Structure 1
Amino acid sequence: MSKNARVSLIIVAVVAVVVAGFLLFNRNSSTTAAPRSADGKVTVVEYLDLECPSCRAAYPGVEKLKTEYGDRVTFTIRHFPIPSHRNAELAAVAVEAAGAQGKRDEIFKVMFESQQEWGGQQTSQRSVFVGFAQQLGLDVAAFEKALDDAKLREQVLNERSEGSKAGVTGTPTFFINGTKFSGAPSYDNLKAAIDRELS
């Protein structure tokens, strides 16, 4: 075999190995629903307003993502009650009051599922939120006391202030690993952004 023929064969073999490796890598990465990063961790922080229809629209997708990613992605909620929403601040306090009794996730679900009934009202919806507490089997007296707790209200307002400093101007606003997410907060868009961080 001539020297040129040997060189040609070596080049062909090297190219074949590179192409095979590339195809194998692409096949593996495309079949992984949520690729794992080096440390396997991503943090998603959502600033939301419980009276905001866009937050309600984003809620099912966020819940689906929580289920799909499990402990690889940490989802954190921060309150950002918009002042023009009459009951948003009290709703946030109600969530924290329910959280003190271990029912934070449950009351979030009820709040969003019934938002069209209580949201947009110009009168206090306190009695509605107390009804949610009864529905969830909470200690209603403790819940009502917590609704008047200045510390819980301060916690909610501090989260809003923290959001404003971070550049939050509306809800929902997401930060993925500290970077503000831009674009419509749909399930597909958020999933794509999380996958980029994990890969």
Structure 2
Amino acid sequence: MNQNMTFTVVMLAVLGLLVGALVYMSNRPPAPSGTAGTSAAAPGGRGAAATPSPAPAELLVREDSRYLDDVEDAPVTVVEFLDFECEACRAQFPVMERIREDYGGRIDFVVRYFPLPGHANSRPAAAAVEAAAQQGALEGMYARMYETQAEWGESRQDQSEVFVGFAEELGLDVAEFTAAMESQEVADRVQADFDDGVALGVQGTPTIFVNGYRTQSMPTYEELAELIDAGLAE
């Protein structure tokens, strides 16, 4: 092979390599936007979600919301969406009572009705508590529901007569209590709480908010106390 032929072969090989490289580059998929090999992460690392904003105050507490503890100018408000037939709510009940005892006179504690559709007596129970509240016996009926839940919960039959018995034990006007429990006004009141919960994204019970911030599911006493202490220190 003479010198000119050798030069031609080399040039053709180089040209082939260049064409191949251009074809390869043109067929590569576009790179994703952002920095390669990284993902957005909230402060604190490990890809944790950013701290959510507090829930709208007008959905958390209404003018007619029921307070177990109502402290003037309280710096901390605890709101619990609950279902009196929910076993998880009954399990959470002692924790909430301990919080109320230890922080009595310093925080507001608000209960909101959130009767779950799968519980046949959750709405009658909420109506009974609301009817008792109209006679100033909110706390007594609230506690009675959890203390006796094992006796009436999970029944597919209407337990309203059981709740009337609780009203008698609490010394309420039974006729007035029964009329209120069965009234459309109380049914609408329970539904309004439920609707607010849905608007807030509540899907199960108990769902608890401290100063508007939702806690994790079934928070321990220590977790709640830490959040409350932070609110009191502000």
TM-score under structure 1 length normalisation = 0.78
Number of aligned residue pairs? 161
For 2:139, which of 105, 111, 124 is the aligned residue? 105
> Does the 8 Å contact 2:152/2:159 carry over to 1?
yes
User: Quick one: percent identity of the two aligned structures?
Assistant: 45
The letter for the 2-side match of 1:189 is: E
> Does the 8 Å contact 1:46/1:78 carry over to 2?
yes
Structure scoring higher RCO (CA < 8 A, sep ≥ 6) equals 1
SS in 1 for 2:218: coil
The letter for the 2-side match of 1:158 is: A
The unaligned stretches of length 5 or more in structure 1 are 1-38
- 1:58 is displaced (CA, Å) by 0.9
Distance 1:133 1:193, change over 3 A: same
- 1:122 is displaced (CA, Å) by 0.3
For 2:80, which of 46, 63, 80 is the aligned residue? 46
Answer with 153-162 or 185-194: which moved more: 185-194
SS in 2 for 1:96: helix
Structure 2 CA distance for aligned equivalents of residues 116 and 170 of structure 1: 20
Per-residue CA distance 1:26-59 (angstroms, 9 max, x = gap): xxxxxxxxxxxxx861011100000001111111
Per-residue CA distance 1:85-144 (angstroms, 9 max, x = gap): 000001001001011111110011111000011000000001100110111111111111
- 1:60 is displaced (CA, Å) by 1.4
The structure number with the bigger radius of gyration is 2
For 1:159, which of 193, 206, 214 is the aligned residue? 193
> Does the 8 Å contact 1:42/1:73 carry over to 2?
yes
> Does the 8 Å contact 2:206/2:217 carry over to 1?
no
Structure 2 CA distance for aligned equivalents of residues 71 and 41 of structure 1: 11
Superposed CA RMSD: 1.3
Q: What pairs up with 1:132-171 in 2 under 5 angstroms? A: 132-171=166-205
SS in 2 for 1:110: helix
- 1:160 is displaced (CA, Å) by 0.5
- 1:197 is displaced (CA, Å) by 2.0
The unaligned stretches of length 5 or more in structure 2 are 1-72
SS in 1 for 2:104: helix
Structure 1 CA distance for aligned equivalents of residues 201 and 171 of structure 2: 38
The letter for the 2-side match of 1:78 is: R
Structure 2 CA distance for aligned equivalents of residues 82 and 40 of structure 1: 30
SS in 1 for 2:103: helix
> Does the 8 Å contact 1:46/1:173 carry over to 2?
yes
- 1:183 is displaced (CA, Å) by 4.2
Larger helix proportion, structure 1 or 2? 1
Q: 1:175 — aligned with what?
A: 209
Distance 1:183 1:141, change over 3 A: closer
- 1:185 is displaced (CA, Å) by 2.1
The letter for the 2-side match of 1:82 is: L
Structure 2 CA distance for aligned equivalents of residues 40 and 153 of structure 1: 30
